Structure 1
Amino acid sequence: MIAVAIDDEPKALDIVRVFAEKVPFLDLKATFQDAFEALDFLQKEPVDLLFLDIKMPDISGLEFLRALPNPPLVIFTTAYAEHAVQSYDFDAVDYLLKPFAISRFLKACTKAHEVFKVKELSTSAFTPASESIFVKNGYEQVRVRLEDILYLEAGGNYVLFVTKHQKIASRMTMSEAEAMLAPERFVRIHRSYIVAKDKIERFDRYEVSINGQLIPIGANYGPLQLAKN
């Protein structure tokens, strides 16, 4: 995984750099104290994982991530525990509270690597002609037609696939579920919801309607992306 770290504190970047060298599947390409320099780098180079401080002088890590049209996986790093709840709105892989030990750093990286592998597998396996996916339900793999999916809803450690005919609860993260779906057919509108674009009956600033079900639009997502499709 290609990674980049952004933090206004040099010592914090040094720690990430030293720890990253010990993780075999991690390639820390660059570190930045200036978030705007990092933004320029991200626009030019492919990055899979971002270590991102939340409290920075010119722009917060949350604002920075919101500005990225296609953000990579992110692990937030901060000295302020009160930011943890906010970080979950961005579907962060993990949240590292400074000062963190290498064991905690490795755990976060391993989680990111697992999500990354799922995305890679889904991307390589998916073609425009694909019309179905396999969803794990208990010990079984259930074939689900993309055409039948209305929306996905996250709940605890599970994602609920709501289709025209049934509901399937699968133990996975929302990021893993999103990686299985074709982006031209599905859109994330909330940290807990992904909807099928062609099943949307109506929408406004706050919610969409699918099959009579009202689904909220998260503050960090907005209806603009729906209007473009």
Structure 2
Amino acid sequence: MIRAIAIDDEPFALEVIRSHADKVPFIELTECFTDAFKAIEYIAKGSVDLLFLDITMPDLSGLELMESLQQKPMVIFTTAYSEHAVQSYELNAVDYLLKPFAFTRFLKACNKANEQLQAKQSYKPAASDSIFIKSGYEQLKISYNDILYLESGGNYMSFILADGRTILSRLTMADTLALLPANQFLKVHRSYIVNKLKVDRAERHQLHIGVQIVPVGGAFNISSLTL
């Protein structure tokens, strides 16, 4: 069961989401909020898997709300405007629903969230030095020491390995960071995680891993590379 809440400044929009959610057997819509700040307090309790989140709201937009969260649930953005689509996917949104949306479109988004949650729950490290990653229909065992770096693209993560392979898995940045040992892997950019053991040279705006160059975000401190 996916525990979800809906956040929208328009009560009618919340009623539409509640009506649709009642028809989806694996969605439990526990609360609806017109006040974004009260929703943040509720999310902080850690009992939310999924947000149905409006983007254009007074005081705090849906995008700002997501960026403010330390622990981010899955999110399906709901909005009457299309111009924020790209930015929503940069925040690893499960889906982007353009109002007014039919139940069939709502169900498709919920199915995506269900698949993502099931995939996340199925990933278990096989041992302290390796991890199992789902790629397509396969579960692949990867040694941590074989990973050079990882690159995020929407809801997918590319594992770049020392043997030249690239393995693509349906994982968000947050999911991936939770699976990897924090003392060995470090997020250096909104789209990149590096294996600290594989970094050959660090510069202000980039890291060198063999012949590969990984960009460094402006907030990243090179001293964090120390194990």
**TM-score bracket for the superposition, by shorter chain length:** 0.7 to 0.9
Superposition map of 1:110-125 within 5 A: 110-122=111-123, 125=124
Q: Does 1:168 align with 2:166?
A: yes
Match in the other structure for 1:26: 27
Question: TM-score scaled to structure 2, two decimals?
Answer: 0.83
- Segments of structure 1 that go 5 or more residues without pairing to the other structure are none
Match in the other structure for 2:37: 36
Task: Please report the RMSD computed on the Cα atoms of aligned residues, expressed in angstroms.
Answer: 3.0
8 Å CA contact 1:133–1:180 kept in 2: the answer is no
Match in the other structure for 2:210: 211
SS of the aligned residue for 1:27 comes to strand
| Amino acid corresponding to residue 182 of structure 1 in structure 2 | L
| Amino acid corresponding to residue 103 of structure 2 in structure 1 | I
Q: How far does residue 181 in structure 1 lie from its aligned partner after superposition?
A: 2.9
C-alpha separation between the residues in 1 aligned to 2:179 and 2:26?
25
Q: How far does residue 212 in structure 1 lie from its aligned partner after superposition?
A: 5.0
SS of the aligned residue for 1:144 comes to strand
SS of the aligned residue for 1:51 comes to strand
Q: How far does residue 140 in structure 1 lie from its aligned partner after superposition?
A: 5.8
SS of the aligned residue for 2:44 comes to helix
1:140–1:202 distance in 2 versus 1, CA, 3 Å: same
**Percent identity of paired positions between Structure 1 and Structure 2:** 49
Q: How far does residue 228 in structure 1 lie from its aligned partner after superposition?
A: 9.2
8 Å CA contact 2:151–2:158 kept in 1: the answer is yes
Q: How far does residue 215 in structure 1 lie from its aligned partner after superposition?
A: 2.0
C-alpha separation between the residues in 1 aligned to 2:99 and 2:214?
36
C-alpha separation between the residues in 2 aligned to 1:34 and 1:156?
28
1:55–1:174 distance in 2 versus 1, CA, 3 Å: same
Match in the other structure for 1:202: 202
Q: Does 1:147 align with 2:145?
A: yes
Q: How far does residue 131 in structure 1 lie from its aligned partner after superposition?
A: 1.8
Q: How far does residue 155 in structure 1 lie from its aligned partner after superposition?
A: 5.8
- Segments of structure 2 that go 5 or more residues without pairing to the other structure are none
1:209–1:64 distance in 2 versus 1, CA, 3 Å: farther
8 Å CA contact 2:154–2:172 kept in 1: the answer is no
1:45–1:69 distance in 2 versus 1, CA, 3 Å: closer
Once the two structures are superposed, residues 159-213 of structure 1 have per-residue CA deviations (whole angstroms, 9 ceiling, x without a partner) of 432122222333x334297278325243445554333344445364x54443353
| Amino acid corresponding to residue 196 of structure 1 in structure 2 | N
1:149–1:121 distance in 2 versus 1, CA, 3 Å: same
Once the two structures are superposed, residues 87-111 of structure 1 have per-residue CA deviations (whole angstroms, 9 ceiling, x without a partner) of 1110111000000000000000000
8 Å CA contact 2:10–2:34 kept in 1: the answer is yes
| Amino acid corresponding to residue 195 of structure 2 in structure 1 | A
Once the two structures are superposed, residues 131-180 of structure 1 have per-residue CA deviations (whole angstroms, 9 ceiling, x without a partner) of 2234456776543201221112346996432122222333x334297278
1:217–1:25 distance in 2 versus 1, CA, 3 Å: farther
Match in the other structure for 1:109: 110
Question: TM-score scaled to structure 1, two decimals?
Answer: 0.82
C-alpha separation between the residues in 2 aligned to 1:113 and 1:14?
22
Once the two structures are superposed, residues 73-99 of structure 1 have per-residue CA deviations (whole angstroms, 9 ceiling, x without a partner) of 111111001111111110111000000
